[in-house]
Amino acid sequence: MPRIFATYRIRSDAASIKARADAIAVEQSVEMPVAAIVDAGVKADIVGRVESITDRKDGTFDVVIGLATATTGLEAGQLLNMLFGNTSIHDDVVLHDAEFPATVVAAFGGPRQGMDELRRRVGAKARAMTCSSLKPQGLGPDALAAIAGRLAKGGLDYIKDDHGLADQAYSPFADRVRACARAIAEARTAGGVETQYVPSLSGDLDRLRRQVDQARAAGVDTVLVAPMIVGLASFHALVRANPDMAFMAHPAMAGAGKIAPAFLLGTVFRLLGASATIFPNHGGRFGYSPETCRAIATTSLRADGLRTTVPVPAGGMTVERVPEMLDFYGRDVMLLIGGGLLAAGDGLVEATRAFTRQVAAYAR
The count of chain residues that interact with a second copy, using the rule CB under 8 A, is 85
Shortest distance (Å) from residue 333 CB to a second copy: 20
Helix or strand holding residue 256 (H, E): none
Closest CA to 144 of 170, 169, 118: 170
**Residue of 233, 283, 294, 353 that binds a second copy (CB under 8 A):** 233
Q: DSSP secondary-structure letter at 309?
A: -
Residues in region 166-195 near a second copy by CB under 8 A: 166-170
| CA 292, chain centre distance (Å) | 14
CB neighbours of 207 closer than 8 A, spacing ≥ 6?
167
Please identify, among the stretches 96-104, 181-189, 283-291, 324-332, the one whose residues bind a second copy according to the rule CB under 8 A: 283-291
Q: Give the contacts of 196 (CB within 8 A, at least 6 positions apart).
A: 121, 122, 157, 158, 159, 184, 220, 221, 222
**Least distance to a second copy from the beta carbon of 112, Å?**
17
253, 289, 327, 361: which one contacts a second copy (CB under 8 A)? 253
Binding mask 142-171 for a second copy (x = CB under 8 A): -x------------------xxx-xxxxx-
The one segment of 4-12, 49-57, 96-104, 343-351 that binds a second copy by CB under 8 A: 343-351
Taking the CA atoms of the chain, what radius of gyration do you get in angstroms?
22
Q: Which amino acid, residue 62?
A: D
Complex with a second copy: residue 87 or 299, whichever CB lies closer: 87
Nearest CA-CA partner of 148 in 194, 89, 195, 208: 195
Of residues 240, 294, 293, 296, the one with CA closest to residue 268: 296
Nearer to a second copy, 13 or 206 (CB): 206
Nearer CB in complex with a second copy: 185/335: 335
- Tell me whether residue 168 or residue 358 sits nearer to a second copy (CB atom): 168
Nearer to a second copy, 37 or 53 (CB): 37
Q: Identify residues 11-50 at the interface with a second copy (CB under 8 A).
A: 23, 27, 29-33, 35-39, 41-42, 45-47
Give yes or no for residue 205 binding a second copy (CB under 8 A): yes
- Does 71 help bind a second copy (rule: CB under 8 A)? yes
Distance CA(274)–CA(214), nearest Å, equals 20
Scan residues 49-68 and list those touching a second copy (CB under 8 A): 68
Give every CB contact of residue 247 below 8 A, 6+ residues apart in sequence: 111, 113, 222, 223, 224, 225, 235, 238, 239, 273, 274, 275, 276
* 291-310 binders of a second copy (CB under 8 A): none
CB of 86 to a second copy, least distance (A): 6
- Considering only 6, 25, 80, 246, the residue that binds a second copy (CB under 8 A) is 80
| Paired sense of beta strands 222-225 and 246-249, if any | parallel
* Closest residue by Cα to residue 251 from 290, 224, 275: 224
Task: Give yes or no for residue 103 binding a second copy (CB under 8 A).
Answer: no
